[in-house]
């Protein structure tokens, strides 16, 4: 979730609405929540603007929709700007924005051998410590698949990648690549071995996706599909802090339609409680992952329609998992590793 500042200037209707007091603001906050946003703080000011609101939203589009809600509800002019905290701003000033990758060597045989040898250190040990137990269901939906596919998952924690990887059968684990935000995981000159861009490419076969990079940012993913590799992409683009799924971006739809490959949705439950966004502490707990049925798009399907089909499939799994809370198959990380 991104943070935004909204400055407002009330018109006559807005001043009248304020007479309702806190009830009016609470009603508006409910409408903001319906847009996957959250008001963090709200102040009235003396001067050119009448109020100052700090809020979270999944992306720029959602932020401006929230601004429109404020404008319609209170009868006011709004001005919205993105905001970052001082520590992040200071860190950005001291580092380059230049990114590196992708690394074409990451799919060669020596890299595959190294990746398999490092699997316990990179993924399995973390699952044993955090996911107690790890419940996986729906692997039967992978049996009939042949060739590359695109796996999608909901994004709420840094552990999403390792759990989704563990949910796959060994056939797909050996030939899968993870799309990762270039401006977070592929920055040049980062300190520490495990923060080096090449480390992620070696251990998780990750490749950079530039946020807002358009069609060109998908070219390497399409090249991987041509080489027979499957992909993992989180279509929300960033981790959710609310427990709800954010709106999906269209990148997966564009690649699936261009390459004619199916999309397999995987919904994960419980990871936000174990390690939420912004936290470094891991609190062990139960985790469930469900692999849905493959989604195949007919030629000529509209990109927006394809994106909606994926979102709907994921949301249906989310609702069913919430209702049942008892996955069929319970596997420890060790048992899952053996399959």
What domains can you pick out in the chain, each with its CATH number? 2-90 (3.30.70.1060), 104-338 (3.40.1130.10)
Which residues, at least 6 apart from 111, have a Cβ–Cβ distance to it below 8 Å?
105, 201, 202, 205
* Residue 299 half-sphere exposure toward CB, CA atoms < 13 A: 1
> What is the DSSP track for 175-211?
TEEEEEEHHHHSBTT-SSGGGSHHHHHHHS-EEEE-T
Q: How many Å is the maximal CA-CA distance in the chain? A: 70
Q: Tokens 């439950």 identify what position?
A: 269
Mean pLDDT, residues 241-247: 70
Q: How confident is the model over 185-242, as pLDDT tens digits?
A: 888 877 777 888 999 999 999 999 987 666 677 899 999 999 999 999 999 877 665 5
- Determine the Cα–Cα distance for residues 14 and 16; give it in Å rounded to an integer: 5
- Determine the Cα–Cα distance for residues 28 and 22; give it in Å rounded to an integer: 10
Measured from the Cβ of residue 159, the count of other Cβ atoms closer than 10 Å reads: 21
Dihedral angle over CA of 17, 22, 27, 28, nearest 10? 70
Average pLDDT, the chain: 84
Q: How confident is the model over 81-120, as pLDDT tens digits?
A: 888 778 767 766 766 667 888 999 999 999 999 999 999 9
What pTM was computed for the model?
0.72
- Determine the Cα–Cα distance for residues 15 and 121; give it in Å rounded to an integer: 60
* Residue 100 half-sphere exposure toward CB, CA atoms < 13 A: 14
- In the chain, % of residues over pLDDT 90: 45
Is 43 strand, coil or helix? strand
pLDDT score for 327: 43
Task: Report how many helices (DSSP H) and strands (DSSP E) the chain contains, helices first.
Answer: 16, 12
Residue 338 clears pLDDT 60, i.e. is over it: no
Strands 230-233 and 150-153, bridge-based pairing: parallel
Q: What's the chain's length in residues?
A: 339
Q: How confident is the model over 266-311, as pLDDT tens digits?
A: 999 988 888 766 666 788 999 999 999 999 999 999 999 999 999 9
Higher pLDDT, 267 or 37: 267
> Is residue 332 within 8 Å of residue 134, measured between CB atoms?
yes
């Amino acid at each position: 979730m991104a943070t935004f500042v909204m400055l407002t200037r009330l018109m006559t209707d807005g001043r009248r609405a304020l007479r309702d007091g806190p009830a009016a603001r609470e009603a508006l906050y409910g409408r903001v929540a319906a847009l996957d946003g959250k008001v963090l703080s709200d102040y009235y000011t003396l001067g050119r603007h009448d109020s100052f609101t700090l809020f979270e939203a999944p992306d720029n589009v959602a932020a401006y929709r929230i601004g429109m809600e404020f404008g319609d509800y209170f009868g006011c002019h709004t001005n919205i700007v993105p905001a970052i905290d001082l520590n992040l701003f200071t860190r950005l000033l001291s580092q380059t924005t230049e990114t590196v990758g992708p690394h074409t060597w990451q799919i060669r045989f020596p890299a595959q051998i190294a990746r398999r040898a490092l699997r316990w250190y990179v993924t399995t040990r973390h699952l044993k410590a955090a996911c107690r137990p790890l419940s996986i269901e729906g692997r039967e939906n992978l049996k009939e698949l042949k060739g590359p596919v695109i796996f999608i998952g909901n994004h709420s924690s840094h552990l999403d990648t390792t759990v989704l990887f563990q949910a796959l059968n060994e056939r797909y684990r050996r030939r899968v690549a993870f799309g990762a935000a270039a401006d977070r995981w592929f920055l040049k000159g980062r300190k520490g071995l495990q923060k080096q861009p090449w480390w992620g490419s070696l251990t998780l076969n990750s490749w950079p996706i530039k946020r807002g990079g358009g069609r060109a940012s998908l070219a390497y993913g399409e090249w991987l599909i041509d080489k027979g590799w499957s992909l993992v992409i989180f279509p929300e683009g960033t981790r959710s802090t609310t427990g709800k799924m954010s709106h999906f971006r269209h990148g997966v739809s564009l690649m699936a339609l261009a390459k004619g490959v199916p999309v397999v949705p995987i919904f994960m439950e419980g990871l936000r409680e174990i390690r939420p966004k912004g936290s470094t502490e891991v609190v062990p707990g139960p985790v469930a992952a469900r692999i849905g049925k493959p989604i195949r798009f007919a030629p000529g399907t509209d990109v927006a329609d394809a994106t909606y089909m994926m979102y709907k499939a994921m949301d249906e799994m989310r609702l069913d998992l919430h209702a049942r809370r008892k996955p069929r198959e319970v596997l420890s990380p060790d048992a899952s590793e053996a399959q």
